[in-house]
Structure 1
Amino acid sequence: MSSEFQTWEVKTPYLNLHCGLGEGPYYEPATQTVRFVDIKNKKLHTVSINDPADLTTLSFDEPVTVTADIEGVDPKDKILIGAKRGLAVLDRKTGEYEYISKMEGEGVDRIRSNDGAVDPQGRFWMGSMTDFGKGDFRPEGSLFRFTQTSPPQTALTSLTIPNSVGWSPDQKTMYFTHSNAREVLAWEYDPSPTPLTVLANKRVFYQHVGNGEPDGFRVDVEGNIWHAVYGESRVLKLSPEGKLIGEIRLPTRNITCVEFVGEELFITTAGDDDAAEGEESKENGGALFRVNVGVRGVGHDLFKL
């Protein structure tokens, strides 16, 4: 493989809905669509990968933060969502959803879910953090492992902005991003259903240096991590050893997450309230971008309901 630092530049959005906080892009191969949430505006958007005008939107009464597909269920009918209080199943035809597992405990009204993903065993890992309107973000969040049949199990506590989780192609390593600490953690992945007592060989896989914070990521089939950086107008390409080997430059500051569609990355962003009217970063803030990066992602596991 080449040791040359790779760069890509994206100048124009694929779709610009000016999301407050666009997040959680997820590809649906059967429908040739990408769905993504706007956490601040409590919306779920679904757009065709062939026509940006082919768009549908669902609105909610509380934040919806992340989605996943369910084993044996047509995603056109129902999908899994992270909602304010935990994990729920959404009926996409009616827009109604029902919780299957909730976060409990003191101060739970202050927090909301954030990013997450399904593990190779069909369980859902998801973080919690201070909700909007509750003042400054505090280290009151956690990383949970959800199933349908038991209360969520706690993996990590005292987190401020827990973000993406993912797995290496061989499923032996799990990655987790703690955004405000500017670090991506890694540990040996244990597929067993036992309680989460220890995260074996937990270590800092990548420590970010810069003004921005690492946000959401996906892993490719070669084991590289493609990591959005909030506040730096770029997506990083990290090697399986945690080395920075490439970047995608974008025309807005707050990059939030990425998703593979074949060899393309679809990239969500958030609004840039700090930019002046007419500035490029404000005009493109909250848009959805796409770029060919020449490699495929590992794909998603399905939640076992």
Structure 2
Amino acid sequence: MSSEFQTWEVKTPYLNLHCGLGEGPYYEPATQTLRFVDIKNRKLHTVSVNDPSDLTTLSFNEPVTVTADIEGVDPKEKVLIGAKQGLAVLDRKTGEYEYISKIEGEGADRIRSNDGAVDPQGRFWMGSMTDFGKGDFRPEGSLFQFSQTHPPKVALTDLTIPNSVGWSPDQKTMYFTHSNAREVIAWDYDTSPFSSAALTLSNKRIFYQHEGKGEPDGFRVDVQGNIWHAVYGESRVLKLSPEGKLIGEIRLPTRNITCVEFVGEELFITTAGDDDAAEGEESKENGGGLFRVNVGVKGVGHDLFKL
């Protein structure tokens, strides 16, 4: 493998919906579509990866923040979603959803869910954070583990912006990004059989500490063990080696890069609006767009939630 620093540059969006906060891209191979949310505008978009004009949108009365597929369920019919109060199942035909597990406790009305992912055992890990309209973001969020048979278990507390969760290709390492701390945390992850109520993390360590002015946001892992990490505020996606070293970057024409998703060897990239840019500026014009770029490697794919 080459030791040279790799660079890619994307100049135009694949689809520019001017999302307030585009997030959570998730590929559906059977339909060759990508679904992604706009958290601020409370929407779920689904677009063909072959035709950007082939787009459908669902609108909600509260934030929907992340999605995942459910074992044994056709994703054209129903998917798992993170909604304001916790984890829910969305009927994609009607746009209605039903909570299966809620975040309870004092101050629960102040928070909403954020990013998350299904683990190799079929449980969903998801963070919570201060909701929009509640003032400045506070360290009142947590990282939860949701299973099909238990209330959510708390893995971490006192978080301000908990973000993406993912696993190494051998499933022996779990990664988690705490955005405002500008760090990606790693744990040893136990893949042996166990009670679905258990937390299985040990040997907590800092995998990557970001030194730039922006904040690491969402990520995906490729089959070689590299992490492709969006950076909010820096117009780029980082390629991090399995050792946590910066070995490449994708440059984009807008500042606030939020998350990525593999479609074959292409990376689809969500972004947020740039309210700080002036009208007509490149970052403003492209903010909230969906981008794509061939990076020459495939992602590890998604596990399915066991409902």
Q: TM-score, normalised by structure 1?
A: 0.99
Give, in angstroms, the shift of residue 194 of structure 1.
6.0
Give, in angstroms, the shift of residue 193 of structure 1.
2.8
CA separation of 1:232 and 1:69: change in aligned 2, threshold 3 A: same
Distance in 2, matches of 1:270 and 1:105, equals: 30
Corresponding residue number in structure 2 for 1:299 = 301
Amino acid at match of 1:284: N
Distance in 1, matches of 2:75 and 2:195, equals: 26
**SS of equivalent residue, structure 2 residue 75:** coil
Alignment of 1:109-258 (within 5 A): 109-191=109-191, 192-193=194-195, 195-196=197-198, 199-258=201-260
Deviations 1:69-102 (A, max 9, x none): 0000000000000000000000000000000000
Amino acid at match of 2:259: C
Deviations 1:207-265 (A, max 9, x none): 00011000000000000000000000000000000000000000000000000000000
Distance in 2, matches of 1:259 and 1:195, equals: 29
Deviations 1:127-151 (A, max 9, x none): 0000000000000000000012110
Question: Does the 8 A contact of 1:154 with 1:196 survive in 2?
Answer: no
Amino acid at match of 1:298: V
Distance in 2, matches of 1:194 and 1:165, equals: 18
CA separation of 1:197 and 1:50: change in aligned 2, threshold 3 A: closer
Deviations 1:5-47 (A, max 9, x none): 0000000000000000000000000000000000000000000
Corresponding residue number in structure 1 for 2:72 = 72
**SS of equivalent residue, structure 2 residue 203:** coil
Amino acid at match of 1:212: G
For residue 283 of structure 1, the aligned residue among 264, 282, 285 is 285
Distance in 1, matches of 2:47 and 2:270, equals: 13
Question: Does the 8 A contact of 1:233 with 1:253 survive in 2?
Answer: yes
Give, in angstroms, the shift of residue 198 of structure 1.
6.9
Question: Does the 8 A contact of 1:125 with 1:145 survive in 2?
Answer: yes
**SS of equivalent residue, structure 1 residue 281:** helix
Give, in angstroms, the shift of residue 161 of structure 1.
0.1
Amino acid at match of 1:290: R
Corresponding residue number in structure 1 for 2:20 = 20
Question: Does the 8 A contact of 2:150 with 2:197 survive in 1?
Answer: no
Corresponding residue number in structure 2 for 1:31 = 31
Question: Does the 8 A contact of 2:76 with 2:92 survive in 1?
Answer: yes
Q: CA RMSD in A?
A: 0.9
Amino acid at match of 2:273: G
Question: Does the 8 A contact of 1:81 with 1:87 survive in 2?
Answer: yes
Distance in 2, matches of 1:174 and 1:14, equals: 31
**SS of equivalent residue, structure 1 residue 109:** helix
Amino acid at match of 2:30: A
Flag structure 1 segments of 5+ consecutive residues without an equivalent.
none
Question: Does the 8 A contact of 1:155 with 1:196 survive in 2?
Answer: no
Give, in angstroms, the shift of residue 274 of structure 1.
0.1
Flag structure 2 segments of 5+ consecutive residues without an equivalent.
none
Distance in 2, matches of 1:164 and 1:114, equals: 9
Give, in angstroms, the shift of residue 190 of structure 1.
2.3
Stretch deviating more after TM superposition (34-43 or 187-196): 187-196
Corresponding residue number in structure 2 for 1:104 = 104
Question: Does the 8 A contact of 1:36 with 1:44 survive in 2?
Answer: yes
**Count of residues in Structure 1 that have an aligned counterpart in Structure 2:** 305
**SS of equivalent residue, structure 2 residue 276:** coil
**SS of equivalent residue, structure 1 residue 144:** strand
Distance in 2, matches of 1:105 and 1:190, equals: 29
Question: Does the 8 A contact of 1:251 with 1:280 survive in 2?
Answer: yes
Question: Does the 8 A contact of 1:263 with 1:293 survive in 2?
Answer: yes
Give, in angstroms, the shift of residue 197 of structure 1.
6.0
Corresponding residue number in structure 1 for 2:81 = 81
Amino acid at match of 2:230: A
CA separation of 1:26 and 1:198: change in aligned 2, threshold 3 A: closer
Question: Does the 8 A contact of 2:271 with 2:287 survive in 1?
Answer: yes
Distance in 1, matches of 2:161 and 2:92, equals: 28
**SS of equivalent residue, structure 2 residue 117:** strand
